[in-house]
Every structure is written in structure tokens, then in C-alpha cells.
Amino acid sequence: MSVLTGVKTQLLSRPLVTLLLLMAFIFPLGMPSLKSWSSSLVHLFIFIGLLSCRKQWQFLTRAEKRLFLCLGLFFLLCSMSLLNADDLSYGIKRLGKLVLFLGFIPAYLGLCRARISLVRPLMYGLLAAGPINLGLALYSMRVWGRSQASWNYNSIVFGDLCMFLAIAAGCLFFTRALPRRFNPLILGSLLCSLCACALSGSRGAWILLPIILLFFLWLFRKQISIRHVALFMVLIVVFGAAVFALGGKTITSRVSTAYHEVLNFQAGQSTGGSAGQRLEMWRISLDIWSRNPVLGSGIGDFRHDVIDLRGDGEALLVGDFSHAHSIYFEYLSMTGILGFFSMLLAVLVLPFRYFYGHWLSCTDSEQRFAALAGMTLVVSFAVFGLTESWLSRSPFVSPYVLSLLILMSGCSGRSISCPDPD
């Protein structure tokens, strides 16, 4: 009882810390569905960090400094690509999306100064996020009459982020970061998020699931037992039955449409479908990159380049597209080989390396959850980037940056050991 009283007193005496913990809890609740939800939270974190981040750089580890310097280099190279841009106004707008990665630095330094981990409130938020988003998905289809589940964002954003929430719940289950009595709630939230994702019809999200399963099998290969395999099979059966009961016709139709679009692209025929158009955009991206291999054609210039190619009869795209629907093809064409590799390092490789290092070294269950969820965060968005140019869209960039911030704060252990610079 005295422990609870002490915690309560500490929270009441530190209202700013209480606010940060509350923000971490509510973050997953509206992440896939509510417009500007993640964006508002991450900007508030950055604002607080700017006010409190002084004298913290000297306490960072070498891995953290390397990541932050690489983020700065990535932003610099993207800015340099504007030298080749024709559509300068849109290029600056696109560059504005990447400012959040710079804002991540003072936000993280501010959390170091506050000496708190935001992982535990995030865990409890994950328990409620699944049922909430499934309820929104069903409401949008049954009441609003939408063919694909969504809310304030389109079905792709909704489906991809619901898939990540399901995976994060899986991390919570496998690391046993919460007592065993929470397992039914964790598994229930996981299944709800998967069902919400399935109802969205987001095909890109389902590319991720087998990759994450293989990643988990490799990571937990020494701990897997027959009981775990049996539980996994039961979950697959229950999930499959629930999905097809709720939206089997929608899913079947989406898969069939994508298959025929790929066949049409292979035959050299123009198609207005999403799968065929993506393949054509990727082909165009390689063509654009071949003309500006070092610095690229300029960030934000994809639409301008496509219009030029269409005028020359070299593009079969139907409609206007401002990005290539793949972070890899887009950043290769827009920022060249330099910007492409800096993006890989700053956004994917170094964050994954950071979390993997903590996964190998830490023994605390909360830190292990943060490390595992951090690795799956990077893997998830790396896979989303195959078919979505999420770095050009705030509904993806904001959740990624904020998730990175919260999970890194949980890995660092500074809530216990960070020295006070004052």
C-alpha cells in the first residue's frame, strides 16, 4: 500500500510526467483511426523536449549518437536533392514531413532528462486498442456502408496500423511483460486488431504477417514448445473463422482483383487497379533514377517527372500520383543513391540495430518488450514501405516516430540509472 501511495504522490507532484504517461497510454487508442491523433501527440512530445533537453547529449550512448547524426545526414541529403527539383514548393512540403525525425532528437533528450519510461502505459493502451479499432471497423462497414473498414484515414492506413498494433500485442504476450492474468486480454486485443486489419482489405499489411511470424520463430527458436505451436494453430483457426464470417467476400474480391492486375501488367497492358499501377510506378522510378543516379531528381518531384514521361508516351499510369507507393523506389529516384542509403540507415537499419542490441543484453521483461516491439516496429514499416510511400504521409510518419520515441525510452533504462546533469 505504501508503494502505491508513493507512486501516486510522485505523479501528483510531477504533473508533466503524468501528462507524458497519459499521452503514451492513449497513443495506440486512436493511432489507426483518428485524424491528427499521432501527429498532435508527437508534436507535443517535441515541444516538451525542446523545453527540457539541455545538457543531455553528453549522456547519450554511442549507438544513440550514431542514430541521431545519421538522421541529420538523411535530412541534409534530402534537402540537397532540392537542387534538382522542378516542383520546389511540393518538395519543401515533402521535406516538412521529415522534420519529425529531427524533432525526435530533442523529444528523446527530454525524456532522458525526465528519467521516465513510457513503455508500461503503452502496454495498457495496447490492451484497449484492439477492441476499440475493431468496433470502429465494424461501425464503418455496417452503419456507414463502406466496403472496406476505415475511419478518418483511408483503409490502407487503417489496416497497416491495425496490423502493427496486433504485432505489438503479440510482443507483449511473448515477453510476459504483464502478469499472466492479462494474457486473455492481450490475445483478445491481438485478434481484434487482426480482424480490423482484415476488414480494411489492406493487402500490404498481410505481406507483413508471414514475415513477422518467421522473425518470431527465429528469435524464439530455443523457447518454442509443442504447447506454443498448438496455441498458435488455435489462434490461426479462430482468426480465420472470424475474418471470413465478418468480411469473407471483400477479402476474396480484393485478392482476385490484384491477381488479374499483375497478369495485365506482365502482358504490357495498362490497368487502373492499385496493384498494376504500383508496378508501373516502380518501373518509372527506376527510369527516373537512371537519369540522376547520385542526388536524384529532387524530393517531391515524382509527379512532375511522371507528367513529363506520360507526355513522351513512356508512362502508362492512370491518374496523378505524387509518390511511387514504395519508400525504396521513391527515395532512390528522388534523392539518388546517397539519399537512398542514408534513408535505409537512419530510418531502418540503425534503429533495428539499437533494439536488437538491447534485446540481447537486457533481462528486465519491460525492457525486453520495448526491444522486441522496437524490432517489429522497424520490420513492419520496412515491409509497409514495399508497397506504400509512408515517408510522404503524416498518418504513417507520426506513429512511427512516436513509437520509436516511446520504445527507445523503455530500452535505455534511464528511468533508473541516468545521472542528473543538474
Please give the average per-residue pLDDT across 355-376, as a whole number. Answer: 91
C-alpha cell at 239: 482468426
- Residue % of the chain over a pLDDT of 70: 82
Over pLDDT 90: what percentage of the chain? 37
Report d(CA 283, CA 130) in Å as an integer: 37
Q: What is the mean pLDDT of residues 251-269?
A: 57
Residue linked to cell 533508473: 416
CA 104 to chain centre: 14
Query: Which cell numbers in the block locate residue 214?
Result: 518467421
Q: In the prediction, which pLDDT does 287 show?
A: 85
pLDDT (0 to 100) of residue 9: 45
Indicate the DSSP class of residue 81. G
By three-state DSSP, how is residue 146 classified?
coil
Q: What is the pLDDT of residue 11?
A: 45
pLDDT digits (tens, 9 = 90+) for 149-158: 788 888 889 9
**Cβ contacts of 42 within 8 Å, gap of 6 or more:** 100, 103, 107, 398, 401, 402, 405
Gap between the Cα atoms of 365 and 172, Å rounded: 9
Torsion of CA 29, 34, 39, 45, to 10 degrees: -30
* Nearest alpha-carbon partner for 412 in 1, 65, 94: 65
Measure the N-to-C terminal CA separation of the chain; round to a whole number of Å. Answer: 32
Tally of residues, the chain: 422
Q: What is the pLDDT of residues 177-200, one digit of tens each?
A: 999 999 999 999 999 998 898 888
Conformation bin of residue 336: beta by default, left when phi > 0, alpha when psi is -120 to 50: left
Instruction: Please state the pTM of the whole predicted model.
Output: 0.85
Q: What is the mean pLDDT of the chain?
A: 82
Contacts of 110 (CB under 8 A, 6+ apart): 45, 48, 49, 50, 51, 52, 53, 56
- Reply yes or no on whether the pLDDT at 104 is more than 60: yes
Q: What is the mean pLDDT of residues 118-137?
A: 93
Q: For residue 225, is pLDDT > 50?
A: yes
